[in-house]
Amino acid sequence: MTSVKTREPVDVLVMGSGASGAAVTWSLSAGGFKVVCLEQGPWVPPSSYPTNSADWQYLQRTTWDYSPNVRKLPADYPVNDEHSQIKVVMYNAIGGSTIHWTAHVPRFHPSDFRVKSLDGVAEDWPISYFDLEPYYDLNDEMMGCSGINGDPANPPRSPRQMPPLPLGPDGERMARAFDSLGWHWWPSDSHVNSTEYRGRQACNYCGPIGLNCDRGARASSDITYLPDAIKLGADVRPNSTVYEITTGPDGRATGANYYNSKGEQEFQPANSVVVAGNGIGTPRMLLHSRSRIHPNGLANSSGMVGKNLMFHVYAGATGLFNDLGSPTYRGPLANIIMSQEFYETDPSRDFKRGYTFQVGRGQGPAPTAIGNVPWGKNHHVEFDQRFGKTMGLGAIGDDLPEEINRVELDTKQTDRHGIPAPKITYRVSENSKRLLAHGVKSARKVLEAAGAHRIFENPFSTNTGWHLMGTARMGDDPGRSVVDRFGQSHDADNLFIVDGSVFVTGAAVNPTPTIQALALRTADYIRHERMDLKS
């Protein structure tokens, strides 16, 4: 029988070092709690970022692909998404998916927390935008936000840490197009430095920001929250794969069993456990952590663990231009301007809620040639017409929750340790289809107004499962939710969930700043209301 080493007990065990796990680890460490953070992926040194390699575009499609099913790195687990219309993407490393993101960070609107009251769909959150507002601000301070106040589509905000990133000639062209239509636009809030911030350099607009930046210009939790947390005494352990959250006779969490970097089994006892594994990894681990007291999975007395998966739906259009002034692959990819003209529900439209337009730049030569230019005798001609001359409008749609969209444990696939893989079932709703059709039509109007001489429509994007939400949602009713308004499990009062799985609705914006704000709020609750968890 294999012996399991037991580590020294701690106050809080955090599972996951991404956007939310790192924020909680820092906040609780600052509050004097003894914290261990387990991350199944490695530390990724800046010297190994693809942007330091002449082969960066090859790496973008292999070991730095967004999909774990393509990368197949040791830290990745497979995802069975053959029954999903959207494919899952994520990254496993210290810093989680924040080391592989574009750092576009809009906030939810106040209406996003009240969609049932306002629009008669989904459920209301048990909290409001204003409950999160101070934590949005704190997160911007820790990550560093480039932006500007005054956006009429959003509540007033405190000043950003840095001015907005320059729009560039391409962004200015699109802004004028929105103006000509009388439609809203605003510079994107970005966790990308427009000036030096906390010792991290400003962006040099090289282009492939999603592949990370050895200048530190693009924030990620491995270079923001975690170094400060470690200085405060946190123990961050890479290459540590949890296979079971353990519970005692009373059903409360006692810690976790995991495989260490050598593949050896260890047990980390803790007074409390904080799960930050994302909207796929968290339900996977809860469902796998069955016991006599929790026969259907940990924290799953409601049967809601894994239900209500939301991704965000994407569509849009791309325009070709000959006179933008500079190649469109220069500058941060998704951090130019956004439009929320069609964000709120409008009774004159045939769908509920809405979408945000994100203006996107072009990509490098290989992604352009492989992903955007048809093969055949005219390939080189088409490439010449498109490379460095495209601007895109992506509509990110509010993906309303449905219980049929779900995460389960796969009965065949496992990771390298034999832990069952997640199985994803997801279909695009009729409401989302109508929303996206409106988005494509509106995108064409903007590109025409901007002077595009050719326009290509993209009615639906499949490889866009970046935003993993809703599978352990919060609520006041234990029969219809997994955690309460502070992320505390209804079934075990020392188990907390802080990632996107707690989302009640997904809104029509990127979720990371809201995930981090929720995590900081939960940490604040533990620090001030749960001192019983501190040794």
The CA–CA distances, whole Å, from 329 to 181, 334, 337 equal: 26, 11, 15
Least confident among 112-116, 337-341, 457-461: 457-461
Who wins on pLDDT, 212 or 408?
A: 408
Mean predicted confidence (pLDDT) in 5-32: 98
Task: Enter the pTM of the model.
Answer: 0.97
Mean predicted confidence (pLDDT) in 358-368: 86
pLDDT digits (tens, 9 = 90+) for 436-451: 999 999 999 999 999 9
pLDDT digits (tens, 9 = 90+) for 459-472: 988 888 899 999 99
How far is Cα 338 from Cα 174, in angstroms, rounded to an integer?
Answer: 10
Pairing of strands 80-84, 454-458: unpaired
pLDDT digits (tens, 9 = 90+) for 411-433: 999 999 999 999 999 999 999 99
Beta strands (DSSP E) in 203-293 are 235-237, 241-247, 253-259, 265-275
- What pLDDT shows up at residue 36? 98
CATH number of 528's domain: 3.50.50.60
Least confident among 14-28, 222-236, 330-344: 330-344
Counting beta carbons within 10 angstroms of the beta carbon of residue 344, is it exposed (0 to 12), middle (13 to 18) or buried (19 or more)? middle
Mean predicted confidence (pLDDT) in 90-100: 95
Beta strands (DSSP E) in 149-188 are 186-187
Using the structure block, give the residue that is written with the tokens 């219980």: 403
* % of the chain exceeding 90 in pLDDT: 85
If you average pLDDT over every residue of the chain, what do you get? 95
Pick the closest to residue 336 from 166, 202, 191 (CA basis). Answer: 166
Residue 160 phi/psi, 5-degree rounding, is: -75, 165
Domain range spanning residue 464? 5-533
- What pLDDT shows up at residue 208? 87
The CA–CA distances, whole Å, from 65 to 62, 70, 76, 209 equal: 5, 6, 12, 14
pLDDT digits (tens, 9 = 90+) for 195-218: 999 999 999 998 888 889 999 999
Q: How many domains does the chain have?
A: 1
Predicted confidence (pLDDT) at residue 1 exceeds the cutoff of 50: no
- What's the per-residue H, E or C state across 416-439? CCCCEEEEEEECCCHHHHHHHHHH
Asked if residue 328 lies in contact with residue 284, where contact means CB atoms within 8 angstroms, the answer is no
Which bin fits 297, alpha (ψ -120 to 50), beta or left (φ > 0)?
left
- What's the per-residue H, E or C state across 23-76? HHHHHHHHCCCCEEEECCCCCCCHHHCHHHCCCHHHHHCCCCCCCHHHHCCCCC
Q: Which two tokens stand for residue 128?
A: 């409001």
CB-based contacts of 196, cutoff 8 Å, min separation 6: 202
**Per-residue buried b or exposed e for 345-355, using 16+ beta carbons within 10 Å of the residue's own CB:** beeeeebbbbb
- What pLDDT shows up at residue 2? 61
pLDDT digits (tens, 9 = 90+) for 254-285: 999 999 999 999 999 999 999 999 999 999 99
pLDDT digits (tens, 9 = 90+) for 491-517: 999 999 999 999 999 999 999 999 999
Predicted confidence (pLDDT) at residue 457 exceeds the cutoff of 80: yes
